[in-house]
Chain A
Amino acid sequence: QKEVEQDPGPLSVPEGAIVSLNCTYSNSAFQYFMWYRQYSRKGPELLMYTYSSGNKEDGRFTAQVDKSSKYISLFIRDSQPSDSATYLCAISGGGSNYKLTFGKGTLLTVNP
């Protein structure tokens, strides 16, 4: 079983839609959960991170972690064409373990 699984999509939605992006993971020791956004021909940029379980909100973006199900989600409200990008989840064990394990990314297109 892979450490992190992410549906690659592609996902195409109309402007203004609510978008849900998801990852599952296998190792219950993971403690840090991140979402990165990557525009075409650019490096990934950190959107937000969550430590342990719970929700975190930043503007139109909400990250959610359910450790009991080993499931993480990113919700985008009122999606905009500028949100069109590949979204990568990343997970880490934390502490002295600096290694991030990435999902393969979901390609999102928001149509005007």
Chain B
Amino acid sequence: DVKVTQSSRYLVKRTGEKVFLECVQDMDHENMFWYRQDPGLGLRLIYFSYDVKMKEKGDIPEGYSVSREKKERFSLILESASTNQTSMYLCASGTVYEQYFGPGTRLTVT
């Protein structure tokens, strides 16, 4: 069974903190993705990676960076968390037509 796991389901951080969100997949996919989901705005792509150490910006990369040192792991980094980054963060892995999502991390920045 396909599995994408995310390090935390709920996270509360303070403004200005550095935040790491971790994602691990066990399907040997080359492509991994980070999205955020907000009411009324839907799912928006932050970054994606098509190979180890390779990354491309999505629609809303500002304020975020990513790291992919191993094929199965893709990290999203908030260098200095701000309140407008309070959101549901979803990781996915897969192909162009078949992406598998993790359960999400609900991040609150206070």
Residues of A within 8 A of B (CB): 32, 34, 41-46, 49, 51, 88, 92, 94-95, 97-100, 102-105
Chain B residues whose C-beta falls within 8 Å of the C-beta of A97 in the assembled complex: 96
As a 0/1 sequence over residues 92 to 104 of chain B, the CB contacts with chain A under 8 angstroms (1 = contact) are: 1001111111111
Q: Give the complex CA separation of A34 and B88 in angstroms.
A: 21
Given contacts A49-B98, A94-B97, contact A103 B42 (CB under 8 A): yes
Given contacts A88-B43, A98-B31, A103-B42, contact A43 B96 (CB under 8 A): no
As a 0/1 sequence over residues 15 to 26 of chain B, the CB contacts with chain A under 8 angstroms (1 = contact) are: 000000000000
- The reply to whether A102 and B43 contact each other, CB–CB distance below 8 Å, is yes
Residues of B within 8 A of A (CB): 4, 31, 33, 40-45, 48, 50, 58, 90, 92, 95-104
Smallest CB gap from A6: residue in B:
B42
- Sample 14 A-B pairs with CB under 8 A, ordered by A number: A34-B97, A43-B90, A43-B102, A45-B101, A51-B97, A92-B97, A97-B96, A98-B96, A99-B45, A99-B58, A100-B45, A102-B44, A104-B41, A104-B42
- The reply to whether A99 and B48 contact each other, CB–CB distance below 8 Å, is yes
- The reply to whether B42 and A102 contact each other, CB–CB distance below 8 Å, is yes
- The reply to whether A49 and B42 contact each other, CB–CB distance below 8 Å, is no
Q: In angstroms, how far is the closest chain A Cβ from the Cβ of B88?
A: 9
Chain B residues whose C-beta falls within 8 Å of the C-beta of A49 in the assembled complex: 97-98
Chain A residues whose C-beta falls within 8 Å of the C-beta of B96 in the assembled complex: 32, 92, 94-95, 97-98, 100
Number of A-B contacts (CB under 8 A): 54
Chain B residues whose C-beta falls within 8 Å of the C-beta of A98 in the assembled complex: 31, 33, 48, 50, 95-96
- The reply to whether B101 and A88 contact each other, CB–CB distance below 8 Å, is no
The 3 closest A-B pairs by CB, nearest first: A43-B101, A104-B42, A102-B43
Q: In angstroms, how far is the closest chain B Cβ from the Cβ of A74?
A: 15
A44: contacting residue among B40, B43, B58, B97, CB under 8 A? B43
Known: A43-B103, A92-B96, A102-B43. 12 other contacts (CB 8 A): A32-B96, A34-B97, A34-B98, A43-B101, A44-B90, A45-B100, A98-B48, A99-B45, A99-B58, A102-B42, A102-B44, A104-B40
